[in-house]
């Protein structure tokens, strides 16, 4: 899909491999929830892991994972390019095709807690979606300077449009911060009462 102009200076485009360091930086800036800090304690070594083992590796080896960027054409980064202000990652594969979602954890991550969290998310996704073909919204993050300006919506909309075109469903395991954004795009919360993460599905139009 090509770029999409908006009335603001924010533009959605497919990301390139050169964007991955900026994507990593947005990830650390946006995901400030305490649990993220416990699972991925911020350090130079962890930043290298997020860059190389996680995102660069996925970018190079998983063509079914679509990395998107939102840039602000009215602002420049240090290289003089439009500033990257938000990113999203849509995974068009089903879990069994994709395999393990994360690389082996960094040694400073609490192994058991990471495994428990991720296995719990995978189990929920299986419970809610089963074999129903769907696209998975893996991540969406907007730099705090740019939140509530529509970048997150653009990233969610991209995958919803693709899902509608291909007549498939969509799924996201949503944080409390993310849930209202997904609701706005037609996702419904299927999680049991009281759960920290919302298991949200957007059923295909012909379901």
Check residue 178 for interaction with ligand COA (CB under 6 A): yes
Region near ligand COA per CB under 6 A, out of 48-56, 75-83, 135-143, 159-167? 135-143
Check residue 148 for interaction with ligand COA (CB under 6 A): yes
Residue among 166, 133, 137, 118 at smallest CA distance from 66: 137
Q: How many angstroms separate the CA atoms of 145 and 3, rounded? A: 22
* Of 87, 174, 199, 202, the one binding ligand COA by CB under 6 A: 174
Check residue 142 for interaction with ligand COA (CB under 6 A): yes
Task: Name the minimum Å distance from CB 37 to ligand COA.
Answer: 13
Q: How many angstroms separate the CA atoms of 54 and 24, rounded? A: 10
Check residue 200 for interaction with ligand COA (CB under 6 A): no
Q: Taking the CB of residue 144, how many other CB atoms lie within 10 A of it?
A: 10
Residue at token pair 């498939």: 168
Which residues ranging from 51 to 110 are in contact with ligand COA (CB under 6 A)? 86
Site string for ligand COA, 18-57 (x = CB under 6 A): ------------xx--------------------------
Classify strands 198-202 and 188-189 as parallel, antiparallel or unpaired.
antiparallel
Toward ligand COA, which CB reaches closer, 79 or 140?
Answer: 140
Check residue 15 for interaction with ligand COA (CB under 6 A): no
What is the DSSP-derived secondary structure letter of residue 147?
Answer: T
How far apart, in Å, do the first and last CA atoms of the chain sit? Answer: 25
Q: How many angstroms separate the CA atoms of 68 and 139, rounded? A: 10
Binding site for ligand COA (CB under 6 A): 30-31, 86, 140-142, 147-153, 174-175, 177-178, 180-181, 184
């Amino acid at each position: 899909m090509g770029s999409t102009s908006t009335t603001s200076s924010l533009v959605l485009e497919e990301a390139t491999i050169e964007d991955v360091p900026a994507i990593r930086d947005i990830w650390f800036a946006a995901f400030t929830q305490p649990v993220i800090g416990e699972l991925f304690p911020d350090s130079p070594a962890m930043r290298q892991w997020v860059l190389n083992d996680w995102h660069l590796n996925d970018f190079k080896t998983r063509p079914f994972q679509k990395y998107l960027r939102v840039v602000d054409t009215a602002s420049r980064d240090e290289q003089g390019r439009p500033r990257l202000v938000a990113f999203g990652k849509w995974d068009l594969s089903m879990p069994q095709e994709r395999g393990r979602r994360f690389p082996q954890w960094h040694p400073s991550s609490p192994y058991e807690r990471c495994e428990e969290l991720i296995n719990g998310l995978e189990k929920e996704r299986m419970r809610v979606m089963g074999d129903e073909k769907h696209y998975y919204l893996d991540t969406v993050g907007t730099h705090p300077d740019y939140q509530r300006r529509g970048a997150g919506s653009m990233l969610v909309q991209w995958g919803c449009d693709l899902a509608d075109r291909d007549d498939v469903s969509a799924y996201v395991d949503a944080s409390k911060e993310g849930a209202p954004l997904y609701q706005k795009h037609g996702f419904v919360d299927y999680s049991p009462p009281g759960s920290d993460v919302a298991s949200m599905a957007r059923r295909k139009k012909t379901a």
